[in-house]
Amino acid sequence: GPWTWPSTPELVADVQHWLDHPADNHGWIVIGNEATSATAKRFGSRHTFPLTARPWLTLTYTPVSAVPGDASAPAIALRAAPNPFRHATNVRFDLPHPALVGIQVFDLAGRLVRDLGREERPPGVHRLSWDGTSTNGRPVAHGVYVVRLMAGTHRQTVSVIRLP
């Protein structure tokens, strides 16, 4: 079942570091009270079979405003659907203001898999599709990938899962 931990400055710093440096994301280890029996929790790995037994990290957060100092400004929103996907996933992002936008896909080791483009975009809802291929046009292996949006100084990521 799900496990929940309250937010701490250390947890926030870890997650922000993972977003800024995906290759450094090796996860956490959860250690129970070793002086008491039956306090350990077993978590599967990204290699656990079946897929439904693999761990998921869900982050719930309140985004900062898109314009510093303007709490009424909407934040940039990034989503991907379907997720998980087999053949293609649609990346959708909402821009509250014009921005130079770049979208890239990385593997969990932090290697660039595909650059989906970089261009000036107006405010509004934007969509593009990633067909599950690398820069050389070959299908990527099934697994977890990180889609990174860069809009001006804003950075945001979403994980997507490619199924076999």
For residue 26, what are the CA distances in angstroms to 14, 42, 50? 10, 17, 21
> Per-10-residue mean pLDDT for the chain, 164 residues long?
70 76 68 69 67 65 50 70 91 90 91 93 91 94 92 88 91
Provide the pLDDT for residue 115.
94
Considering the entire predicted model, what is its pTM? 0.56
Provide the pLDDT for residue 10.
78
Provide the pLDDT for residue 138.
94
Provide the pLDDT for residue 7.
74
Provide the pLDDT for residue 75.
72
Distance CA 110, CA 104 (A): 11
124: three-class secondary structure by DSSP:
strand
